[in-house]
């Protein structure tokens, strides 16, 4: 699965215990209830965030009123990096999808942190590179893939963190992120009814099992094959 390296969401501070301690010391804790806004598009990009608990969606509001979702930021991930490094306004909105505990670092503190911690600075570069590749693939998907293929790619993306080794790709995997069909539609450039139809089709094919509480990928490797058609 090396070609999908950019989907892996390992903790930003994995194998960097000293850097983690330094970041926690300079950052402040922020608690958000479900649906609280973390920031709005065009807010000053003067800080970045580390997710200790919860899930944050990064999205925009289109003139039509639709809310395309670009990313989900999960436990162990950083977000707000591009703006804090470039000193530019926010390019999207961030909202807590679940109750969240975030650590926020201001621009001056974060720049000093990176200057003093080469390992963390290198990790930022790698993180941003992976996100550029992901967004590039999303643009390509909208141009060349049907909704069913885009949905398969999304399900692989959401399940990727529990598919850490080759053996896991051969066993059923519970997607650890709970999204509504409307939110799936917002991440695939579609509508709720179309997503519902394709989920039903995938369930009939034995690729997934959908219940009120969860989505289980029954055959991850087969789903990946469908996503890469």
Summarised one tens digit per residue, pLDDT across range 191-215 is 999 999 999 999 999 999 998 888 9
pLDDT score recorded for residue 8 = 52
pLDDT score recorded for residue 130 = 84
pLDDT score recorded for residue 9 = 61
What is the mean pLDDT of the segment spanning 63-69?
Answer: 82
Phi, psi of 107 (to 5 degrees): -60, -50
List Cβ<8 Å contacts ≥24 apart for 211-214. Answer: 213/178, 214/174, 214/175, 214/178
Whether pTM > 0.85 for this model: the answer is: no
Tally of CB atoms within 10 A around 93: 20
pLDDT tens-digit series, residues 83-140: 999 889 999 999 999 999 999 999 999 999 999 999 999 999 999 988 888 778 777 7
């Amino acid at each position: 699965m090396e070609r999908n390296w950019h989907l892996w969401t390992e903790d930003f501070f994995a194998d960097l215990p000293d850097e983690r301690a330094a970041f926690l010391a300079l950052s402040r804790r922020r608690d958000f209830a479900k649906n609280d806004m973390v920031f709005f598009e065009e807010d000053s990009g003067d800080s970045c965030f580390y997710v200790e608990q919860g899930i944050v969606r990064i999205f925009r509001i289109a003139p039509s009123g639709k809310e395309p979702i670009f990313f989900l930021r999960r436990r162990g991930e950083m977000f707000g990096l591009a703006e804090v490094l470039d000193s530019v306004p926010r390019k999207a909105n961030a909202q807590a999808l679940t109750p969240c505990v975030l650590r926020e670092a201001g621009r001056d503190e974060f720049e000093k942190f990176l200057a003093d911690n080469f390992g963390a600075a290198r990790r930022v570069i790698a993180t941003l590179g992976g996100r550029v590749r992901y967004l590039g693939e999303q643009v390509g998907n909208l141009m060349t893939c049907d909704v069913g293929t885009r949905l398969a790619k999304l399900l692989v993306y959401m399940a990727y963190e529990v598919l850490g080794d080759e053996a896991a790709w051969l066993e059923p995997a519970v997607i650890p992120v709970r999204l509504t069909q409307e939110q799936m539609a917002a991440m695939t450039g579609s509508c709720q009814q179309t997503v519902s139809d394709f989920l039903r089709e995938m369930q009939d094919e034995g690729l997934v099992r959908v219940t009120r509480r969860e989505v289980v990928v029954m055959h991850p490797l087969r789903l990946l094959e469908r996503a890469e058609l």
